[in-house]
Amino acid sequence: MNYNQFKHCGLNVTLTMLSGKWKPIILYHLFHNAEMRFTELWRIIPKVAKKVLLDHLKQMEADGLIIREEKQGFPPEVSYRVSEKGKALGPALSALETWANEYAADEVAEFKKTTVGKLRQHLS
């Protein structure tokens, strides 16, 4: 039962940082790619509005979860990658993913059908 003795303050902080319609898929891509450019992310998540993707990335950068790097020169080249702080969250994110697959398989399947289908990808 000990692992259930969480307090709610940290939980609140973490969930706030993770809340945002497209953050899970952004994190997924960044965790799996080490570095991605803005347009690359935008193309791979085609339904997200440019502005919203930018908003999410800005928040995540402000929260220290990801790092934005701008190489000057032309064409403008901006890349995003997961920070150490962000990487440290990996196991917890895995745990949430695992729980869903074990305890909410139906919802996961439904999500794949509706959302992922519309993204025309196979990201499970």
Interface residues with a second copy (CB under 8 A)?
Answer: 3-15, 17-19, 23-25, 27-28, 31-32, 63-64, 85, 87-104, 107-108, 111-112, 115-116, 123-124
Find the binder of DNA among 32, 46, 55, 100 (CB under 7 A). Answer: 55
Rank residues 38 and 93 by Cβ distance to a second copy and give the closer one.
93
Sign, CA torsion 85/16/107/23: negative
Report the C-alpha gap between 123 and 102 in whole angstroms. Answer: 18
Find the binder of DNA among 17, 24, 38, 119 (CB under 7 A). Answer: 38
- What are 104-107's contacts with CB under 8 Å, separation 24+? none
* Number of residues in contact with DNA under rule CB under 7 A: 26
